[in-house]
Structures are given as structure tokens and as C-alpha cells.
Amino acid sequence: MTFDYRLSRQHYRELDTVKKHIDQMGKAAYEATDNETFAALMDQALEMKMTSNQLLTSIQAMTNYRADQGKIIFDGIP
């Protein structure tokens, strides 16, 4: 496995964007919606949660790889 620092930074930026969008959806005023709009919003929320989970998994894998290579030190332990 090769590690690309730019890819890691891109994942963090994408994750931040997804989190901001989820927060905006949560702060939106509750309005009466029809079934189609509600279904579309639920699909969008599910897709964003899945994207968020995928990005977190990718970031964890890259962090673990860097730690195994001795590039990252946790609490003074390489």
C-alpha cells in the first residue's frame, strides 16, 4: 500500500463538507412535506451518511498504515 498525503487531505476536506451539509439539514426548519420530498431527503441523508462512513474508514486505514510504518507517533510510542 502506498500513502499519498494529498489523498488524505482530500478525504478530510470531503468529510468536513459532508458533516457541514448534514448539520445544515439538521438545522433546517421543520415544514410539512409531501411523501416524495420526504423520500428524497431521506435518500440524500442516507447517501451522505454512507459517504461519511466510507471516508472515515479510509482515513482510519491510512492513519493505521502510517502508524505501522512509524511515520505517526501516538503518545510517544512509534
Beta-bridged to residue 77, according to DSSP, are 74
Q: 51 is in which domain, residue-wise?
A: 5-23+37-67
Q: Is the pLDDT of residue 6 over 80?
A: no
Cell reading at 16: 468536513
Is 52 inside any structural domain?
yes
Is 42 inside any structural domain?
yes
What does the pLDDT average to over 27-49? 78
What does pTM read for this prediction?
0.58
C-alpha closest to that of 25 among 34, 37, 10: 37
Q: What is the largest CA-CA distance in the chain?
A: 55
pLDDT at residue number 72: 64
- Structural domains in the chain (count): 1
Q: Is the pLDDT of residue 35 over 70?
A: yes
Assess contact for 52 and 22: CB atoms under 8 A.
Answer: yes
